[in-house]
Amino acid sequence: MISVPRSIRCFMPIALVALSPLAAAAQEACTTYTVQDGDTLGEIAFTAYGSYNYQMIFNANRDAIANNTNNLPVGLQLILPCEDGRLTPDTELSAIIEQETERQESAPRADQPYRPPMKLVTANDWKPFADETLMGGGIYVRMATTALNRAGNDIEHKISFVDDWGSHIDILLPTNAFDISIAWSKPDCTQIDKLGEFAVKMCTEFEFSVPIYEVAYSYHTLIDSPFAGARAFSDYVGARICRPEGWPTSDLEVEGLAEPVVTFVRPKSPKECAEMLLAGEVDLYSIEVETSTANFEELDATDRVELNPALATFNTHHFVTSKSNPRGREYIAMMNRGIEEMRASGEWYDVVATGLAEYNAPTN
């Protein structure tokens, strides 16, 4: 499980480059932009939105950008969404959702053999992705329930919130009390010999859906830290690395950074990691860049820390079922079909954009 802050949060695997707000200077939100030589997504986002957080641009151009996040082709046309997530000024958020829902409701339904209702479980306090106070239970919950009503899927389902993430993996899925958990990071199972015990368990005992979201982790140090100039993961040998409980470490493990080569410090919350870094109790704070950035802004300490411009690690989020579930693979296949149709129709983006708009809306 990964917690995410109040800005937008999606990355593809990259090596972050040094960012300068001067390189991309001719773009605005709610327009299109043609990539110039030397542009980076961070620079483009800074000029358009005043933040190096480029997730909204990535979401709107996912197929066009593909794996070129660190080397944008000159001449590539990018959609720069409006600040509220709309793709253009004359579109409306949720328009595709409404269109696809109407299409689904009007489509003739063939008689289906009886199947027991699918039982899905997630947890609260993972905004904007999963929380009972959010519309539809949050972005990931809406993705799951929408996918089960797309691509010919038609199965009853029930969502429950169990706020002990560990119990999902240790008890609820293996005993088939629930069929699907929403949602988990997938380790790089092709390098299982480098993974820790928990990551190995995820690889060997669970089935994953297609990716439903992508995030990259970045690395903050104090400005005067000896680790500030790291340009290879081996430069972090001996570091005390802070990641909160529930955040995966498999991305570091495959880079050779596992205990005792490094020391992991695991407080309850991301903000505690930021506070520990500022107090000198850890050497490195590694998490989604928007989470750490938001933490340091809240602590009024952005001038005391440095973001490594050269290193990032990659995680994808997925729906998960236990391999012991006799219907698990069937359920994952259904959700995969639904997610793929949502991406093709644009509904995936609409779910993300409307969920983030709700989460980022000012509160009275």
Q: Regarding predicted confidence, which is higher, 319 or 254?
A: 319
**Class for the domain spanning 1-87:** alpha beta
Read off the amino acid at residue 174.
P
Give the C-alpha separation, 285 to 292, whole Å.
8
Predicted pLDDT of residue 162: 95
115-179+325-360 and 1-87 share a CATH fold: no
| pLDDT band of 4, cuts 50, 70, 90 | very low
The stretch 271-283 carries a mean pLDDT of 96
Q: Domain extents for the chain?
A: 1-87, 115-179+325-360, 214-315
Rounded mean pLDDT of 162-172?
92
Class of the domain covering 115-179+325-360: alpha beta
Predicted local confidence at residue 25, as pLDDT = 42
* pLDDT tens-digit map of 315-352: 789 999 999 999 999 999 999 999 999 999 999 999 99
Query: What is the tens place of the pLDDT at every residue in 183-204?
Result: 998 998 999 999 989 899 999 9
First to last CA, the chain: 30
Fold of 214-315: D-Maltodextrin-Binding Protein; domain 2 (3.40.190)
The Cα-based distances of 147 to 137, 180, 336, 348, 351 in angstroms read 14, 13, 8, 9, 11
**10 or 358, greater pLDDT:** 358
Let me know how long the chain is. Answer: 364
- For the chain, what is the HEC assignment? CCCCCCCCCCCCCCCCCCCCCCCCCCCCCCEEEECCCCCCHHHHHHHHHCCCCCHHHHHHCHHHHCCCCCCCCCCCEEEECCCCCCCCCCCCCCHHHHHHHHHHHHCCCCCCCCCCCEEEEECCCECCCECCCCHHHCHHHHHHHHHCCCCCCCCCEEEEECCCHHHHHHHHCCCCCCCEEEEEECCCHHHHHHCCHHHHHHHHHEEECCCCEEEEEEEEEECCCCCCCCCCHHHHCCCEEECCCCCCCHHHHCCCCCCCCCEEECCCCHHHHHHHHHCCCCCEEEEEHHHHHHHHHHCCCHHHEEECCCCCEEEEEEEEEECCCCCHHHHHHHHHHHHHHHHHHCHHHHHHHHHHHHHHCCCC
Confidence category of residue 22, pLDDT binned at 50, 70, 90: very low
